[in-house]
């Protein structure tokens, strides 16, 4: 079993490591707004010292050095201090190092860099998939590491968020089967990950045959069933092992690839959601059109609910029932999303829609069958390409995390695009 001997210190050009009591906002301010704080992890002393030396003069401060790899359970403790960059050696234990990279990236938007004396393409690809943003080949030149830090500076938020307590929960539910809940929920989750630059997880609770992962082209060894059946011992570390990762950075807890009959209890669902909210900034749930006690148990504690419907008499009727019988009595006002919306008379005008729903729709996702069908058939997320549908979904995501509907254009670049 790995121990976690932390060697806390500040690196300076003279080679001294002074005891660091804590990294505070005042410390950061005194060092200047352009100074990046770095955690350096390297079991092999010679390589670690070489990286530390290369960092001198690159507008960085090594706030913590670890002389051995921390365990995955130690990641939350490591990230209690808001570092801008974590630099990790690969060579001493590549498999654990990659697990560590993924464990950090799956719950945090911090820039993770890796360094290695190897430089084969297969290793680089594995690092990229784990979430590393920079691959530094030994020996590292001062110029190369300075360029990497400039890119980290571009990605760094202007202000670090306060210590996370519990993530925001957003539940997508449909008025009836075929409303397009999975399409909206999966692409909303991808957009959250991309637009909001914070950690996000998509949980498919459209049991037993949800297809959120299929829509994103993801296959997973584990599923939400594993989480539900082991809810009594579920924690953040266990949850992490069950997740799959989408290329956008989104984590996904999928339904099984094969049919598995399961009756999810409200207690088990609540435990899964609680652990997810402790681990991620945003938790997006695809609930399908299932109005079960387990799904109803989610409608509390600041949940945001998106009711997906289409402009047809059956769906508007079902939406009215959901609102009047389940949501309104619990004090919830959902954000109504009109999916496959066509801006022309269909025998039901907008006044009648509002009357049928007892509230006005907040979002109208336009009908674009060809684009939606192509995305489904190729398992490519709509949110990653420009279309009339993706523009609305990205606006929904930005509003959900407190950003303006439309982003300002800005310049930036990264190693892995």
Instruction: For residue range 368-380, list pLDDT tens digits in order.
Output: 888 888 887 787 8
Give pLDDT, residue 248. Answer: 85
Model confidence at 269: pLDDT above 80: yes
Coil, strand, or helix at residue 335? strand
Query: What CATH number did the domain enclosing 186 receive?
Result: 3.40.50.300
- Residues 121 and 178 reside in one and the same domain: no
Give pLDDT, residue 414. Answer: 47
Among the three residues 125, 155, 185, which one is the final residue of a domain in this structure? 155
Coil, strand, or helix at residue 214? helix
DSSP annotation string for 64-127: EEESSPPPGGGHHHHTTS--SEEEEE-TT-HHHHHHHHHHHHHH---EEEEEES---HHHHHHH
Whole-angstrom distance, CA of residue 167 vs CA of residue 164: 8
- Residues 133 and 72 reside in one and the same domain: yes
- Which of 381, 400, 402, 382 lies closest to 390, judged by CA? 382
Q: What kind and span of H or E run contains 48? A: helix 45-55
Beta strands in 162-265 (DSSP E): 168-174, 200-204, 244-245, 251-253
Model confidence at 362: pLDDT above 70: yes
- Residues 278 and 372 reside in one and the same domain: yes
Residue 25: which pLDDT band, with cuts at 50, 70 and 90?
A: very low
Q: Structural domain of residue 46, as residue ranges?
A: 6-155
Please give the model's pTM, rounded to 2 decimal places: 0.61
Q: What is the pLDDT of residues 199-224, one digit of tens each?
A: 899 999 998 888 888 889 888 888 99
Count of domains observed in the chain: 2
160 falls within a domain: no
140 falls within a domain: yes
Q: What is the pLDDT of residues 131-172, one digit of tens each?
A: 899 999 988 887 888 889 888 888 776 544 444 568 899 999
Query: What CATH number did the domain enclosing 90 receive?
Result: 3.40.50.2300
Whole-angstrom distance, CA of residue 203 vs CA of residue 190: 12
Helices of type H across 204-362: 212-215, 224-229, 236-242, 266-279, 293-296, 313-321, 350-357
* Most confidently predicted of 77-81, 164-168, 356-360: 356-360
Residue 288's alpha-carbon distances to 307, 310, 364, in angstroms, are: 10, 14, 19
């Amino acid at each position: 079993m790995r121990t976690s001997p932390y060697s806390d210190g500040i690196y300076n050009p003279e080679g001294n490591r002074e005891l660091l009591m804590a990294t505070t906002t005042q410390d950061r301010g005194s060092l200047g707004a352009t100074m990046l704080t770095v955690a350096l992890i390297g079991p092999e002393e010679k390589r670690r010292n070489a990286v530390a030396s290369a960092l001198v003069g690159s507008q960085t401060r090594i706030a913590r050095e670890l002389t051995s790899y921390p365990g995955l359970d130690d990641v939350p403790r490591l990230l209690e201090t808001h570092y801008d960059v974590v630099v990790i050696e690969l060579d001493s234990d590549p498999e654990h190092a990659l697990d560590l990279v993924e464990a950090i990236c799956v719950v945090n938007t911090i820039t993770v860099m890796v360094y290695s004396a190897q430089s084969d393409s297969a290793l680089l690809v594995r690092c990229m998939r784990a979430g590393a943003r920079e691959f530094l080949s030994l020996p590292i030149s001062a110029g190369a590491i300075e360029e990497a830090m400039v890119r980290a500076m571009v990605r760094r938020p202007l202000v670090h968020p306060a210590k996370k307590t519990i993530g925001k929960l957003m539940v997508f539910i449909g008025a009836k089967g075929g409303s397009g809940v999975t399409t909206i929920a999966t692409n909303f989750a991808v957009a959250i990950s991309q637009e909001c630059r914070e950690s996000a997880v998509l949980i498919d609770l459209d049991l037993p045959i949800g297809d959120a992962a299929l829509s994103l082209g993801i296959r997973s060894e584990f599923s939400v069933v594993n989480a539900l059946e082991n809810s009594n011992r579920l924690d953040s570390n266990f949850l992490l092992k069950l997740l799959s990762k989408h290329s956008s950075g989104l984590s996904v807890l999928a339904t099984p690839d094969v049919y598995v009959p399961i009756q999810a209890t409200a207690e088990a669902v609540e435990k899964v959601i609680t652990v997810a909210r402790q681990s991620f900034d945003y938790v997006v749930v695809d609930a399908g059109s299932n109005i079960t006690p387990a799904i109803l148990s989610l409608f509390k504690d600041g949940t945001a609910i998106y009711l997906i419907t289409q402009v047809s008499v059956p769906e508007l009727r079902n939406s009215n029932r959901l609102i009047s019988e389940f949501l309104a009595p619990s004090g919830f006002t959902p954000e109504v999303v009109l999916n496959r919306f066509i801006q022309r008379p269909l025998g039901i005008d907008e006044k009648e829609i509002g009357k049928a729903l007892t509230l006005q729709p907040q979002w109208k996702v336009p009908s674009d069958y060809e684009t939606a069908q192509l995305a489904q058939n190729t398992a490519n997320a709509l949110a990653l390409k420009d279309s009339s549908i993706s523009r609305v979904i990205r606006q929904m995501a930005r509003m959900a995390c407190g950003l303006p509907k439309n982003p300002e254009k800005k310049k930036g670049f990264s190693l892995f695009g």
